[in-house]
Amino acid sequence: MTDRSALVLTASDRSAEGSREDTSGQVVADRLAALDFTIERKVVADEQWLIEEALVEGAGRHPLIVTTGGTGLTPRDVTPQATTAVIDYEVPGLAEAMRADGRRSTPLASLSRAVVGVRGRTLIVNLPGSPRGAAESLEAIVAVLPHALETLAGPFDHVDGPGR
């Protein structure tokens, strides 16, 4: 049985300063808790270095990190850049699946710059900042999360890579 803990990391200037409730983080945390994850929550401002620091720290403790916020087109939306800076490799199929599923509700889903990747044995998933967008994007990948996390937890039967 793999560790079923997750960090829900919200990147939001207003939530970090306390002027707006972190509704998206709560929606994501509630859904993951319903999937039997133990949840840690954290809110940081939309500063790349703060997001990177929280991702690195969280990856040392959790097999899953789900971010919400900072995936749009404004200059303050830096979650994808922070994620890309700390991951070992991307899992583009999951980000593609979230955008494809989102386009069923709104063409604006194509504007999401969400990244999914792996740091060590931790899966990091970026979700949009809106509660509805975050919930729908998470739901688009829920079916594959258990297999992804089991695979990352190991053991690895092909450690040396193909043909070695």
CA distance 26 to 154: 30
pLDDT digits (tens, 9 = 90+) for 91-111: 999 999 999 999 999 999 999
* Strand spans (E) along 73-128: 89-90, 116-119, 122-127
Q: Domains along the chain?
A: 5-153 (3.40.980.10)
Q: How confident is the model at residue 163 (pLDDT cuts 50, 70, 90)?
A: very low
Mean pLDDT (the chain) is 94
Percent of the chain clearing pLDDT 90 (strictly above): 92
CB of 134 closer than 8 Å to CB of 27: yes
Q: How confident is the model at residue 156 (pLDDT cuts 50, 70, 90)?
A: confident
CA distance 61 to 59: 5
pLDDT of residue 159: 58
**pTM (two decimals):** 0.93
